């Protein structure tokens, strides 16, 4: 079945460590997104990418980095520069261009900093 | 940037009841999404609409562009409908993903 796979589902990190969250899709979608969800808040956009080897900062990109070397993959690295990384992270894709079309989400990754 | 307000924030109802969740926004949009977030965290897209009404099974979504308001209705509610329902709007001006998300409505359907 087509879909978006995120891993790991749960991740614990010590302060000062970088961690990478995986996002893979087999929907052949061009646009991919990373969102952060905190309790009591709406989803916020971290990074987005419309095509391979191109990505743009979203509203809260500081302390995060991404790559888009393959159409299917859009990993997110949470760096030690991110001051408050404990959150739920969601990867999404859409079949149309940026800002168009239905959104497809993964199951999410919950990061906890110890 | 658009401001999206959902109401109610929390809703507990009995199985079989008719459920209405509301979403209001402040600036003209090109599309509105209704999303369902499972207790485990994954999100499923329920509807994307820009005018009128859409129906899928027991779910109905309506939008009034003039009033900047949308509603999600669930008929014959069931405990499996328990989830967080999220409204998201896409600004007419576009840009980036153009989306502003509401904080969600936490729905619990009791047997």
Q: Are B88 and A44 in contact (CB under 8 A)?
A: no
Nearest to A109 by CA among A93, A85, A80: A85
Check A43 against B88: CB less than 8 A apart.
yes
- A99: pLDDT strictly greater than 80: no
Amino acid A93: pLDDT: 94
| Mean pLDDT in residue range B79-105 | 86
- Residues of chain A with C-beta less than 8 angstroms from the C-beta of B45: 102-105
Amino acid B1: pLDDT: 76
Nearest to A36 by CA among A114, A113, A108: A108
- B94: pLDDT strictly greater than 80: no
- Residues of chain B with C-beta less than 8 angstroms from the C-beta of A90: 41, 43
How many other C-beta atoms lie within 10 A of the C-beta of residue B61? 23
B24-76 residue pLDDT tens: 999 889 899 999 999 888 999 999 999 999 999 999 999 999 999 999 999 99
- Residues of chain A with C-beta less than 8 angstroms from the C-beta of B97: 33, 45, 48, 58, 98-99
Check B86 against A108: CB less than 8 A apart.
no
Check A107 against B40: CB less than 8 A apart.
yes
Nearest to B22 by CA among B11, B37, B38: B11
A28-86 residue pLDDT tens: 999 999 999 999 899 999 999 999 999 999 999 999 999 999 999 999 999 988 889 99
Q: Which residue of B has its CA nearest to A109?
A: B41
Q: How far apart are alpha carbons A106 and A90 in whole angstroms?
A: 6
Instruction: For residue A22, give how far its alpha carbon lies from the nearest alpha carbon of chain B (Å).
Output: 15
Residue A39 CB partners (closer than 8 Å, separation 6+):
none
- Residues of chain A with C-beta less than 8 angstroms from the C-beta of B4: 42
CA distances from A27 to A66, A79, A93, A94, A96 (A): 20, 28, 8, 9, 12
A12-43 residue pLDDT tens: 988 889 999 999 999 999 999 999 999 989 99
């Amino acid at each position: 079945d087509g879909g978006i796979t995120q891993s790991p589902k749960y991740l614990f990190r010590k302060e000062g460590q970088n961690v990478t969250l995986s996002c893979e899709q087999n929907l052949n979608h061009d646009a991919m997104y990373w969102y952060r969800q905190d309790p009591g808040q709406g989803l916020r956009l971290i990074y987005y990418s419309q095509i391979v080897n191109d990505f743009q900062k979203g509203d809260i990109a500081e302390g995060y980095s991404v790559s888009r070397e393959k159409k299917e993959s859009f990993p997110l690295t949470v760096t030690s520069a991110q001051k408050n990384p404990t959150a739920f992270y969601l990867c999404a894709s859409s079949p149309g261009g940026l800002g168009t079309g239905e959104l497809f989400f993964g199951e999410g990754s919950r990061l906890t900093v110890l | 940037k658009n401001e999206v307000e959902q109401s109610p924030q929390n809703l507990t109802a009995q199985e079989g009841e008719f459920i209405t969740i509301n979403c209001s926004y402040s600036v003209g949009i090109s599309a509105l999404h209704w999303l369902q977030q499972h207790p485990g965290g994954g999100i499923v897209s329920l509807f994307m609409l820009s005018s009128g009404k859409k129906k899928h099974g027991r779910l109905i979504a309506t939008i009034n562009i003039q009033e900047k308001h949308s509603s999600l209705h669930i008929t014959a509610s069931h405990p499996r409908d328990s989830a967080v329902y999220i409204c998201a709007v896409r600004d007419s001006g576009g840009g980036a993903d153009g989306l502003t998300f509401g904080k969600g409505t936490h729905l619990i359907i009791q047997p």
